[in-house]
């Protein structure tokens, strides 16, 4: 069971958005969000990609893994201004073995949060540096997410793979 919630910046649910779950090139299920901006997709354990589409909103593609547990995926749709902000955060190398570099275009005060694929918070750091290095050597191999929130309070989420 994968629950999806779609919200634009401002938190208003998006009704009538199409969410398509795929495994490889195979479409597994296509659903439409309800008046609360929510939809549920039922899939077996595995790795999946999904797409969000609705006229008048930017498209979105993401991925998720199901491993014997329900997953909730929140999709926050942003405007062009936030999309520009998102392009100002870069992670490398990706995949990473030991040290992950997070590079931003400015040195504003920023909170960087590290999450595992299940959404559990692993660590938090605050920085004003344009470049921040995080030691990920102790992490198990797999997918992780970095959430970067600057002074404008618009979070940018990036996925990386730990080898």
97 shares its domain with 113: yes
**To the nearest 10°, the Cα dihedral for 26, 58, 112, 143?**
10
How much of the chain, in percent, has pLDDT values that exceed 90? 25
- pLDDT, one tens digit per residue, over 107-130 is 788 899 999 887 888 999 999 888
Question: How many domains does the structure of the chain reveal?
Answer: 2
Range of the domain at 39: 2-77
Which domain-ending residue is among 53, 77, 101? 77
Of 77, 109, 128, the residue at which a domain comes to its end is 77
Which of 9-13, 73-77, 96-100 is most confident? 96-100
Same domain, 89 and 72: no
Provide the token pair at 162: 């730990």
Query: Each residue of 94-115: b (16+ CB within 10 Å) or e?
Result: eebeeebebebeeeeebebbbb
Residues 156 and 86 in one domain: yes
How confident is the model at residue 112, as a pLDDT?
A: 92
CATH number (domain holding residue 149) = 2.60.40.3080
What would the pLDDT profile of 26-64 be if each residue is shown by its tens digit? 999 999 988 877 888 888 888 888 888 887 777 778 888
Q: Which of 77, 92, 108 is the last residue of a domain?
A: 77
pLDDT digits (tens, 9 = 90+) for 60-94: 788 888 888 776 776 665 544 444 344 578 899 99
CATH at residue 21? 2.60.40.1120
pLDDT at residue number 93: 94
Q: Which one, of 46, 51, 95, 102, lies nearest residue 73 by Cα?
A: 51
**Would you say how long the chain is, in residues?**
163
pLDDT, position 66: 83
Q: What share of the chain is helix, strand, coil (3-state, %, to 5)?
A: 5, 55, 40
Question: Are both 48 and 88 inside the same structural domain?
Answer: no
């Amino acid at each position: 069971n994968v629950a999806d919630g779609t919200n634009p910046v401002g938190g208003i649910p998006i009704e009538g958005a199409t969410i398509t779950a795929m495994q490889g090139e195979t479409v597994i299920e296509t659903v439409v969000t309800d008046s609360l901006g929510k939809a549920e997709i039922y899939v077996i354990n595995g790795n999946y990609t999904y797409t969000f589409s609705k006229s008048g909103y930017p498209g979105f593609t993401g991925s998720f893994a199901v491993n014997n547990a329900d997953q909730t995926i929140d999709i926050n749709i942003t405007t062009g201004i936030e999309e520009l902000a998102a392009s100002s955060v870069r992670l490398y190398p990706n995949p990473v073995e030991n040290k992950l570099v997070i590079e931003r275009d400015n040195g504003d005060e920023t909170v960087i949060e590290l999450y595992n694929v299940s959404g559990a918070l692993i660590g938090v750091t605050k920085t004003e540096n344009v470049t921040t290095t995080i030691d990920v050597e102790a992490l198990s191999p797999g997918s992780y997410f970095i959430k970067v929130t600057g002074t404008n309070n618009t979070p940018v989420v990036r996925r990386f793979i730990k080898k």
